[in-house]
Structure 1
Amino acid sequence: MIKKITFVLGIVMALTACSSGGDSEGEKSGTMDTASAEKTFKQNCASCHGNNLEGGTGPALKHIGKEDSKADILKQIKNGGGGMPAGLIQGKEAENVARWLAKKK
């Protein structure tokens, strides 16, 4: 029962943390904007994955780039799975976060 409550609370927190940021120069050009990626992550992902990528209700992401490519990470963000809701971040923000996380080796 506690696991179900924790899972539901994680989803609720993640969904309430959703926000749409403005376009930054890095997002417009298709290059990674680290500050924007970190901000998007903290607003949308940190409630489950931890402010320092240490994990929580979601897995740790400190070294996710060793395991998964940017494409793999982006697919997970878009499609969700394993307890993660799909589409918490979208478009250029999702691509920017995936690129940033892929560099975590």
Structure 2
Amino acid sequence: MIMKWTRTIALLAITGTIAGCSSASEQDIQAVSGVNDAETIYKQKCVSCHAIDLQGRAGPNLQKVGAKYTQDELFGVISEGKGGMPSFEKRLSEEQIDALAVWLASKK
């Protein structure tokens, strides 16, 4: 009987450990996935004006845009447009715009 309880407790401990590790890994994957999504969206929608390396063409250089604008400001610019930049509010989902804003805000 003691053996059975010992095995049950050990199994629960192992399951808890695996669940904890699994959860952390999923968060890491989601964080990396967000960056990959933002880069993919950028390549599909932004490269023609801002270049693959963010140096700018028709649109401004974005290599250090996060030093100039906050994530919220970038979200607004992408959503509503600004100057010569068109609004992407109807072309991208709110989640896509947010992913781009987070990614661009990290460019300092």
Which amino acid in structure 2 is aligned with residue 70 of structure 1?
A: Q
Q: Distance in 2 between matches of 1:89 and 1:44?
A: 9
Which amino acid in structure 2 is aligned with residue 61 of structure 1?
A: L
Partner of 1:55: 56
- Could you tell me which runs of 5 or more consecutive residues in structure 2 were left unpaired when the two chains were aligned: 1-25
Post-superposition offset of 1:89: 2.6
Alignment of 1:1-105 (within 5 A): 33-87=34-88, 88-105=91-108
Larger radius of gyration, structure 1 or 2?
2
Which amino acid in structure 1 is aligned with residue 49 of structure 2?
A: C
Aligned residues: 78
Post-superposition offset of 1:82: 0.8
Post-superposition offset of 1:47: 0.5
Q: Distance in 2 between matches of 1:45 and 1:67?
A: 18
Maintained 8 Å contact 1:77/1:89: no
> What CA deviation, in whole Å up to 9, does each residue of 1:61-104 have, x standing for no partner?
00000000000000000110211110243310000000000000
Q: Distance in 2 between matches of 1:72 and 1:63?
A: 14
- Could you tell me which runs of 5 or more consecutive residues in structure 1 were left unpaired when the two chains were aligned: 1-24
Q: Which runs of 4+ in 1 moved over 2 A?
A: none
Identity of aligned residues (%): 35
Q: TM-score, normalised by structure 2?
A: 0.66
Q: TM-score, normalised by structure 1?
A: 0.68
